[in-house]
Amino acid sequence: MKILLSLTVVAASLFGNLVHAADAVDLKVGDKAPTFEALDDTGKPWKSSEHVGKKIVVVYFYPADMTGGCTKQACGFRDKLGDLSKKGIEVVGVSGDTVASHVLFKQEHDLTFPLLADTEGKVATAFGVPVTPGEKKVTAKFKTGKEEVLIRNVTTARWTFVIDKDGKIAAKNTKVAAAEDSQAVLDAVEKLAK
């Protein structure tokens, strides 16, 4: 009886993993990008339907505000925003951090593009980006000398997508080098133009 019960538990576990794997999204270049909505750093809904089709939209997923690699990635986009805008590109960052955390992150690093609070990982899941559930609290010190506790409910992998004006995935990067991501996006868009 114990052996049968153990086999049933193992089979259920394997079956559950297979179902989950079969349900996982695997967007490829040329696929239609998912339509999504999340609160931005002003607390207002940011709807992809209001942006996709008007410009090329870069959706970059990152693990956490105020961490080394994520800061380099965000500042890279900030520093290249002029070049990106000239090519008709709009940038939006997405993480599991809260709106309040995004506000502090943007202020600390003078970020000038929207950050979306994907606190349940729904946007990441729609793009097939791996999501790790579990609340994390990080104490961050700011240039003002003030310390704040930043709360994140889910942690996403660092992936970047470029959505063309037709609403299709034009580029997908699952092995993002944080500091070089903005240049990689520029290079990808230049290749698309050829």
Nearest CA to 185 out of 82, 28, 69, 58 is that of 58
Longest distance between any two alpha carbons in the chain, whole Å: 69
Query: For the chain, what percentages of helix, strand and coil (3-state, to nearest 5) are there?
Result: 40, 30, 30
Determine which helix (DSSP H) or strand (DSSP E) holds 15, and give its type and residue range.
helix 2-23
Q: What is the DSSP letter of 75?
A: H
Give the pairing type, strands 169-173 and 45-47: unpaired
Alpha helices in 39-180 (DSSP H): 68-86, 99-109, 122-127
Pick the catalytic residue from 58, 70, 74, 189.
70
Hey, is 159 helix, strand or coil? strand
Total count of residues recorded for the chain: 194
Determine which helix (DSSP H) or strand (DSSP E) holds 6, and give its type and residue range.
helix 2-23
Known catalytic membership, residue 70: yes
Cα–Cα distance for residue pair 46/37, rounded to 1 Å: 5
**Mind telling me the catalytic residues?**
70
